[in-house]
Structure 1
Amino acid sequence: MFAQIKSLGLFGLNAFPVDVEVSISRGSPQFEIVGLPDASVRESRERIRSAMRAVSIALPPRRITVNLAPADVKKIGTMHDLAILLGILAGMERLAPQPDFRYFIGEVSLSGHVRRINGVLPMALLAAQRGARELYVPAANAAEAAAAGIPVYGVQNVAQLLAHLQGTRQIPRQPATVSEKDVEEEEAPDFADVKGQQNVRYALEIAAAGGHNALMIGSPGSGKSMLAKRIPSILPEMTPAEAMETTQIYSIAGLLDPKHPLMQKRPFRAPHHTISGAGLVGGGTIPHPGEISLAHNGLLFLDELAEFDHRTLEIMRQPLEDRRVTITRASGTVSYPCSFMLIGAMNPCPCGYFGHPRRKCTCSERQVHQYLNRISGPLLDRFDLHIEVEPVSFDDLSAKAKSECSADIRKRVQTARIRQQERFSGSSISCNAVIPAGRLQEFCPLQDNAAVLLRAVFDKLGLSARAYDRILKVARTIADLDGCDIIQKQHIAAAAQFRSLDRKYWSAS
């Protein structure tokens, strides 16, 4: 007796089709699973045996062989349980053969319930590409899978699924997924609460408009963390493609809200400085996405940047350039996208008052030097904007007038992003921060006097080629905020002023 059930597998972000082949033959009672299964797949034998008892069906005293094809691709996770169970029932002739347009994924519990699994959305998208007309998933994953645009049925337990497949009681089809735009959002921190700091607010508006990395340096209590936590309130809306990419990563990580699984809000990640390299960029025996991938299309905030492990920070250098991180393990190679805004905040020295206008620094020159040099030159060079956060004055703190709110800033940011989308239409470029070096002249035309000023800045500051590119990209964003197609002298001047703190602090130390 032979049966075949369609299922799906997942490794990293890559979903692949799996044919669950079941052979039941004469011989000593055995239950074997082949096809490069990992431990979690092999353990499904006991889960399935118990789940079948829960629906009053016993395994036959025969030799049962389950092959997960293709047999040369490693199978990881518990998503094949449901298909294996149905394959055995079909092989026992307790269930009719299932057509190729039906796909089944889900973990089976000992009691016969079907448990939630991670990574359903990438698998559902693959099922849609392969022409699936019915996809059966755990009920807790049904809303997520429905985002793929195919008929989805949420299964609560094995008995319910068998009744549906036998035509005695139908499982209702999952309705279309409701995006987060259609539900009430929590109130985010607003820039209206920020007193003073006009220069910093403007710099962060530029960063949000162009997707630029920014480093804030200032003494304790100057408002660095408060400002960073308000950046999400001015970020532009995600495009449908960005929303789907981000949702897939969160699906794999198991971090989606079951009620509103399609993400429309840009992610904001703020890991503690004790995080490991694997936690930041991803890793593990089965490679999982790290914080930089969870921040994809959003913002990664590293507070107390100099307190992070030096080696952990250096691991980010290549992903910041490539916008993708590749993790290689014995089980295979996984690549995760990580196109994010990096916002760093740090004190200028251990005591925090080096360069303070009114308080004296108690650190020695050696201590200041060692502290600042925890941030290497190559990493510092990857920040487009260097922002000095001055202490807030008493007059600003006591002022009764409200500052400009996030909603007004976001309108300008959104307008600038729309200009960029129109400019980069037909290309893979999403914002000014990711313009390839080879296309800077095409997208960043300069007025003659602006080109002269840029040359003078380059020679005076001794900029690297990377710093030159980043000044040009920031100037492009400032011009977009001003509604200008051609970069003018004042745009270059504004961009250059945000590349001077490495000279003030790192050179002075």
Structure 2
Amino acid sequence: MLIKTYGCAVYGIEAIPITVETNIGRGINFHMVGLPDSAVKESHKRIKAAFSNAEFKYPGKEITVNLAPADIRKEGSAYDLTIAVGILAASDQINSEEVENYLIMGELSLEGSLRPIKGALPIAIKAKELGFKGFILPKQNENEVSIVEGIDVFGIDHIKELVDYFNGDTKLTPAVYKPSLNEEDFNTQQLDFSDVKGQENVKRALEIAAAGGHNILLVGPPGSGKTMLAKRLPSILPPLTIDEALETTKIHSVAGLISSNAGLMQNRPFRSPHHTVSDVALVGGGSNPKPGEISLAHNGILFLDELPEYKRQVLEVMRQPLEDRIVTISRAKMTVEYPSGFMLVASMNPSPSGNFYDPNDPNSDPEFIVKRYLNKVSGPLMDRIDLHIEVPAVKFDELSDERKGENSVVIRKRVVAARELQALRLKEMKGIHYNAQLSAKMIEKYCKIDTQGKQLIKTAMEKLGFSARSYARILKVSRTIADLDRSDKIKANHIAEAISFRSLDRDGWLN
């Protein structure tokens, strides 16, 4: 008897439907075809033990399982339940009439209980697109995918529940999404800018970066608060929209980073890889491509502490994703794409000794050593960072001041208001929501400046040696500063402030 059950393979962050054809005939053997990997091939051993412990009969006949389409490699243990249901239906242990109406996936333990799977969210979205009646999966993944409307999601703990359901002995209740975090919880869980003493100019720069989604570099001596400030940046970012939350959760789901019973991600990601990270770990890849840190930071922040300590090769592979906000990983048998629309926040010391260059201080590093240290980060990569901020050491009077600074909730309101202006201005632009995403044509349309502003930028370019890319960055940052000012026009003071945030573009400091 031939039975068809359905699952999905996940490539990139998209699911591809897989038909599992199970046939039971004369003989005693088990065959699996359709390009399965080792984990899939081993599934029949887990299924056989699960059947025995759950008191189901494993057919003593020839079982042939075909995973179609056969030219797509099937990987992982998530097909256990799909294959098990096919065997049960083909051996008349469950009613086969309803089986084909459901997409079924899950990893079986030897006792018949289910373990969570990776990529559950993109699979649920594909199941809805394909018109399945429901999606049956492990209970631990239930809340993660129940946000998807238009399809019933049934989470089960044991294979017996599924058998009883298809035989009409019990009913399964569709899962109802349970948010794991509300606005009040979000505010209490975040680190707050009110904890930071002094550094008002740096706080201002971070507010501008958050308002426009701009990349930012913090340069200062050890102990000046660079890491402390960077870790508080998520507290002033706008909340994730439903589309952003879905896309972010899909990436983390594929990577297997969604904890059991967790729902949709509601905090923007903050990824901080160590400087020993490899280029594959940062960008993504492997024989079976997986998302890297830049994709896991999508719609959030990628924080690179001590930027010059990262291998130059690792930093250079970020150049294309920083521009295109997508990373393409090509292999002989496949090409996958992962979103990489992240804010880059980096920090570094201004010199090997950790202090700013001072020609009057005999103990400071010589100028050529400082230049060599700064040039560990290439000019083209630095060009892609919109704001360069000098973070001075905090003075004692500021550290001992008991007064609290402006808190993150107040700053966040200004950031959200600026983002709303940008969203309204860019509503006709597909996939463009804030100023950092503006293309050259959009800059020309939305970042118009008057004669005084042009003269100001011209002078800065001539005296400070700015590149053409730096010019575009200045215009985009100026547009964000104007939005925070609730100004339709970009004024000279907005441009002047944006120019002040390009401190490392001085001619001769970076190649």
- Band the TM-score falls in, shorter-chain normalisation: over 0.9
The corresponding residue for 1:235 is 237
The Cα shift of 1:359 comes to: 6.7
The Cα shift of 1:175 comes to: 1.5
- Which is further off, 218-227 or 204-213? 218-227
Structure 2 distance, partners of 1:235, 1:182, is 13
Q: 1:449 to 1:136 in 2, by over 3 A?
A: same
The corresponding residue for 1:371 is 373
Confirm whether residue 253 of structure 1 aligns to residue 252 of structure 2.
no
The corresponding residue for 2:265 is 263
Unmatched 5+ residue regions in structure 2? none
The Cα shift of 1:366 comes to: 4.7
Structure 2 distance, partners of 1:222, 1:7, is 53
The corresponding residue for 1:431 is 434
Secondary structure, aligned partner of 1:172:
coil
Structure 1 distance, partners of 2:2, 2:335, is 34
The Cα shift of 1:434 comes to: 0.7
- Which is further off, 58-67 or 333-342? 58-67
The Cα shift of 1:56 comes to: 2.3
The Cα shift of 1:93 comes to: 1.5
Matching residue's letter, 2:64: T
The corresponding residue for 2:477 is 474
Confirm whether residue 493 of structure 1 aligns to residue 496 of structure 2.
yes
The corresponding residue for 1:168 is 169
The corresponding residue for 1:86 is 85
Matching residue's letter, 2:56: I
The Cα shift of 1:505 comes to: 8.2
Within the candidate set 442, 450, 467, 2:453 is matched to: 450
The corresponding residue for 1:2 is 2
Q: 1:361 to 1:228 in 2, by over 3 A?
A: farther
The corresponding residue for 1:56 is 55
The Cα shift of 1:239 comes to: 1.4
The corresponding residue for 1:127 is 127
Secondary structure, aligned partner of 2:247:
helix
Structure 2 distance, partners of 1:397, 1:504, is 35
The corresponding residue for 1:506 is 509
The Cα shift of 1:273 comes to: 1.1
Matches within 5 A, 1:70-469: 70-99=69-98, 100-149=100-149, 150-178=151-179, 180-181=181-182, 184-185=185-186, 186-355=188-357, 361-427=363-429, 428-469=431-472
Q: Is the 8 A contact 1:104 1:136 kept in 2?
A: yes
Matching residue's letter, 2:112: G
The Cα shift of 1:116 comes to: 0.5
The Cα shift of 1:376 comes to: 0.7
- Which is further off, 219-228 or 471-480? 219-228
Deviation digits for residues 123-164 of structure 1 (CA, Å, limit 9, x no counterpart): 001111111221100010011121112211111111121111
Q: Is the 8 A contact 1:144 1:177 kept in 2?
A: no
Q: 1:505 to 1:215 in 2, by over 3 A?
A: farther
The Cα shift of 1:476 comes to: 0.5
Structure 2 distance, partners of 1:98, 1:309, is 58
The corresponding residue for 2:486 is 483
4+ residue runs of structure 1 moved beyond 6 angstroms? none
Q: 1:49 to 1:359 in 2, by over 3 A?
A: farther
- Which is further off, 440-449 or 383-392? 440-449
Q: Is the 8 A contact 2:357 2:367 kept in 1?
A: no
- Which is further off, 412-421 or 168-177? 168-177
Unmatched 5+ residue regions in structure 1? none
Q: Is the 8 A contact 2:26 2:61 kept in 1?
A: yes
Secondary structure, aligned partner of 1:200:
helix
The Cα shift of 1:504 comes to: 7.8
The Cα shift of 1:450 comes to: 1.5
The Cα shift of 1:474 comes to: 0.3
Structure 2 distance, partners of 1:55, 1:198, is 65
Matching residue's letter, 2:403: A
The Cα shift of 1:58 comes to: 3.5
The corresponding residue for 1:36 is 35
Give RMSD over aligned pairs: 1.9
- Which is further off, 397-406 or 216-225? 397-406
TM-score (norm: length of structure 2): 0.95
